[in-house]
Amino acid sequence: MKKERLNNFINLMEENNIYQSIITSTPSVFYFLNEWIEPGERLLALYINLSGEIKLIINEMFKVTSVDKNLMLTYSDSDNPINILANVLIDGKTIGIDEKMQAGFLLELLNLRHSFSFKNISPLIAKLRMIKDDEEINYMKFSSEINDKTMGKVINVIPEMLSERLLAKAIKNIFEREGADNVSFEPIVAYGANSSNPHHVPDSTNIKDGDAVVLDIGCIKNHYCSDMTRTVFFGNPINTFKKIYEIVLEANLKAIDSVKPGVKACEVDKVAREVITKHGYGDYFIHRTGHGVGIEIHEMPYISSNSDVVLEPGMIFSVEPGIYLPNIGGVRIEDLVLVTKKGCKILNHYPKDFTIV
């Protein structure tokens, strides 16, 4: 159990007049218990209240080691876990609900406890999770180290892997060999015109002369995610690619340069967007500049034009500007950065020079 994190959360509950909370998402339960529990469709609920009472409601077949036996309320497949949960709740006190709680469970609970007032606690947990402690920072660095090594090996095998799907499979194998526990998302491999879609799903498209090759990859190690994008070119790319590559690189570098405590997330987005707009490609930068990364691949803070989050030391997020030319191709360059006391530290070290493979 992570006592300090639990206490920080209890303080936030108090500030927000929430007497009791039910945390149900696996990543958030992991954040507080230091144990990864995947119950599938079954209910997993970590109950906490301001008196410091803690209960874990879980199906009996899951083996849990992070929580004392007398704090566990186990149920069998023939029990209704919502009845157990409802009995734990203290009458008349506001209940904090994790927005990831399955709607079916919540509806059942509402039927039993319709007189209660409910509040969404996910923004409070997100606020805690976006500031990484030293242990988390070390895990994040290690995950990105594996990502850097993998990227190097992937770029070397591009000419051997004909289709996007074959390269995506190779990426997963390389991650495994480099010691990753899993991928943090399905690798994005996009050749040629496909690279103008930021979320292209690898298909049977084969690589051909002149293609832009977007590689957006990340792994999970010790439950912490990495995420990096590099764009390289195959054969003889058109001059436009060289031009937009340098613009995206300038946007990536200048945005990273702007990251420091006290700056708002929207200001980092603005720096990246202004570089691309100044060169006439503003309409082709079609997504936000970045997102927080941690136990989950997308979390707070979001680096977008409408995000007022003020950057603080310990935040880790991506800086990933891009230019996407329909039917031609796209360029995206992405690094993870850690906000430090004076500025930021880049967690990815794979080079960003214009590269032809």
**Segment contacting Mn ion by CB under 5 A, of 73-81, 188-196, 243-251, 312-320:** 312-320
- Whose Cβ is closer to Mn ion: residue 150's or residue 318's? 318
**CA 345 from centroid of its chain's CA atoms:** 18
The DSSP bridge pattern shows strands 316-319 and 335-339 to be antiparallel
- Whose Cβ is closer to Mn ion: residue 96's or residue 321's? 321
- Whose Cβ is closer to Mn ion: residue 81's or residue 292's? 292
Residue 210 C-beta: closest distance to Mn ion, Å: 26
Binding mask 329-348 for Mn ion (x = CB under 5 A): --------------------
What b/e string do you get for 52-87 counting C-beta neighbours within 10 Å, with b at 16 or more?
Answer: eebbbbbbeebebeebeeeeebbbeeeeebbebbee
Residue 334 C-beta: closest distance to Mn ion, Å: 5
Residue 265 C-beta: closest distance to Mn ion, Å: 15
Residue 320 C-beta: closest distance to Mn ion, Å: 5
- Whose Cβ is closer to Mn ion: residue 25's or residue 318's? 318
**CA 134 from centroid of its chain's CA atoms:** 18
Q: How many residues does the chain have?
A: 357
Residue 131 C-beta: closest distance to Mn ion, Å: 19
Report if residue 98 touches Mn ion, rule: CB under 5 A. no
Residue 128 C-beta: closest distance to Mn ion, Å: 22
Site for Mn ion in 204-243 (CB under 5 A): 227
**Spatial CB neighbours of 4, under 8 Å, sequence gap ≥ 6:** none
Among 318, 330, 338, 347, binds Mn ion (CB under 5 A): 318
Q: How many residues bind Mn ion (CB under 5 A)?
A: 2
**Segment contacting Mn ion by CB under 5 A, of 28-36, 99-107, 125-133, 314-322:** 314-322
Binding site for Mn ion (CB under 5 A): 227, 318
